[in-house]
Amino acid sequence: MFRYYADAEDFGRKRAICERALQVAEGFKDAHFAHETRVVLSYVRLAECIYRVAEPLATLDLTDPDNQEVFRAAVQRLERAGAENVCAIQTWRSALGPEPWHTRVHDALRATETTVQQISRFVSERYLY
């Protein structure tokens, strides 16, 4: 997933683009564009949070209590980003119409939930104490 980001600072650049797009979209009478933009923004945030968990895991001495706090905060941000992504997808899709939704919508929701849960559980069980 990181192939879409040139470097760590690219997350901020892409987030800023989405935030500007969201400002524009919120000015439209039709809320669908704003909902879609929030979904994209939530995916950028989610990708960044995954990176912010992976990077310290690979580079920090996690036996250091200060690094433990940095790492714990990164895991918590990942969990919030996952919840934000799920909410954004549900809001967007609900605005388009009620269930039943296409299976791809449910696949996307499940993929986010599963990815975040598995990353969080894996690193928490092995590296947080």
Quote the pTM value: 0.93
What percent of the residues of the chain are helix, what percent strand, and what percent coil, each to the nearest 5?
80, 0, 20
State how far the Cα of 68 lies from the Cα of 12, in Å rounded to an integer: 24
Q: At what angle do helices 32-59 and 65-96 cross, to 10 degrees?
A: 160
pLDDT tens sequence across 37-49 = 999 999 999 999 9
Which residue bears the tokens 């001495």?
61
State how far the Cα of 127 lies from the Cα of 60, in Å rounded to an integer: 11
State how far the Cα of 81 lies from the Cα of 42, in Å rounded to an integer: 7
pLDDT value, residue 1: 83
Which amino acid makes up residue 68?
Q
pLDDT tens sequence across 67-106 = 999 999 999 999 999 999 999 999 999 999 999 999 999 9
State how far the Cα of 113 lies from the Cα of 117, in Å rounded to an integer: 6
